[in-house]
């Protein structure tokens, strides 16, 4: 005889009792059917939970990707900046080497960089530790280069300014040196004297150029026959340098004028204590007469 199973259900309020009789197969079928119905009922809930979890991860990934994209854009911009600065640094170094001024970096190399906290957190989670280290080194390189570019820029500007005020050219075109710097016999007295400059013989009316940038400190138009420098100009070039242009026939500047190298300041002549047409050219450093030949580079 087949075994039977009875499922009894009682109503709490009416105390009615309901009984269901199942065979073994019927009971199994009923249990599987109930589980199937419950699964169908709960399936949409599982789908909603899974979709919410997927959306959460997608939003997180999108946020991380957005941070990475901004980071990469910033990185590419900084790399371009590094290349530009390195090119400038190389160019400045070459210029400064030509000027004869060795420069060594004043700033020590260090590691650091202005990356945002979100990017740092992203990389600290293991998404690119090695890359982040390289980026921080690049950031440090940028800072180091920029700081030293400022130093080189300032140094180069100072050197260019100083060189532009250095009396480095011959004040006239042509002519010949008729009397050098140092000891000589005065043609008017026959006695030995110190000659604090160069006498350059050339025709009256030849252009006389300023040998460096500067400001006209003194102009003399008073001429006494066979005495003094006649008509002359003194230019203050700064950095302790002054130059004198004497025995002129004409002066074309006035006190206070700002002068550039190669500017025409007057015309050569034969005024004052002079035996023949020539230009007396003197260079002074902190008030001490220098040999102009040592300064003329052209």
pLDDT in tens, 181-236: 988 777 767 788 888 999 999 999 999 999 999 999 999 999 998 889 999 999 99
* Per-residue confidence (pLDDT) for residue 100, from 0 to 100: 58
The mean pLDDT value of the chain amounts to 79
* Per-residue confidence (pLDDT) for residue 104, from 0 to 100: 53
CATH topology of domain 176-294: Glucose Permease (Domain IIA) (2.70.70)
The two tokens of residue 87 are 């090119």
The pLDDT of residue 32 is above 80: no
Residue 196, judged by CB atoms within 10 A of its CB (0-12, 13-18, 19+), counts as middle
Contact 241, 137 (CB under 8 A): no
* Per-residue confidence (pLDDT) for residue 69, from 0 to 100: 76
* Percent of all residues in the chain with a pLDDT value above 70, rounded to a whole number: 68
Give the up-direction half-sphere exposure of residue 92: CA atoms within 13 A in the CB hemisphere: 23
* Per-residue confidence (pLDDT) for residue 108, from 0 to 100: 46
d(CA 58, CA 72): 20
Among 51-55, 101-105, 262-266, 271-275, the range with the most confident prediction by mean pLDDT is: 262-266
The domain spans of the chain are 1-164, 176-294
* 253: nearest Cα among 217, 278, 282: 217
Q: For the chain, first and last CA: distance in Å? A: 132
Among 62-71, 166-175, 181-190, the range with the most confident prediction by mean pLDDT is: 166-175
pTM of the shown model = 0.55
Q: Would you list the DSSP string of 163-202?
A: HHTS--S-SSSS-EEEE-SEEEE-TTT--EEEE-SEEEE-
pLDDT tens for each residue of 102-139: 555 554 444 344 444 444 444 444 445 666 666 677 66
* Per-residue confidence (pLDDT) for residue 24, from 0 to 100: 63
């Amino acid at each position: 005889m087949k075994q039977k199973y009875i499922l009894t259900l009682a109503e709490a309020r009416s105390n009615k009792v309901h009984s269901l009789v199942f065979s073994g197969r019927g009971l199994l079928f009923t249990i599987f059917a109930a589980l199937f119905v419950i699964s169908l009922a709960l399936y949409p809930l599982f789908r909603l939970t899974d979709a919410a979890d997927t959306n959460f991860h997608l939003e997180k990934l999108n946020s991380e990707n957005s941070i990475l994209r901004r980071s990469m854009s910033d990185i590419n911009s900084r790399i371009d900046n590094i290349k530009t600065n390195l090119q400038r640094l190389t160019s400045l170094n070459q210029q400064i080497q030509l000027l004869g001024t060795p420069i060594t970096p004043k700033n020590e190399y260090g590691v650091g960089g202005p990356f945002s906290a979100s990017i740092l957190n992203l990389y600290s989670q293991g998404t690119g530790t090695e890359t982040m280290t390289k980026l921080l080194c690049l950031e440090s390189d940028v800072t180091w280069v920029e700081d030293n570019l400022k130093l080189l820029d300032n140094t180069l500007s100072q050197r260019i300014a100083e060189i532009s005020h250095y009396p480095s050219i011959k004040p006239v075109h042509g002519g010949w040196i008729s009397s050098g710097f140092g000891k000589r016999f005065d043609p008017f007295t026959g006695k030995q004297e110190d000659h604090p400059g160069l006498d350059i013989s050339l025709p009256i009316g030849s252009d006389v150029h300023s040998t460096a940038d500067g400001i006209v400190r003194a102009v003399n138009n008073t001429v006494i026959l066979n005495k003094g420098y006649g008509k002359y100009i003194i230019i203050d070039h700064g950095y302790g340098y002054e130059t004198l242009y004497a025995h002129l026939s004409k002066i074309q500047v006035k006190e206070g004028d700002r002068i550039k190298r190669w500017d025409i300041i007057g015309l050569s002549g034969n005024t004052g204590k002079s035996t023949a047409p020539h230009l007396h050219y003197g260079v002074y450093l902190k008030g001490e007469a220098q040999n102009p030949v040592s300064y003329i580079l052209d």
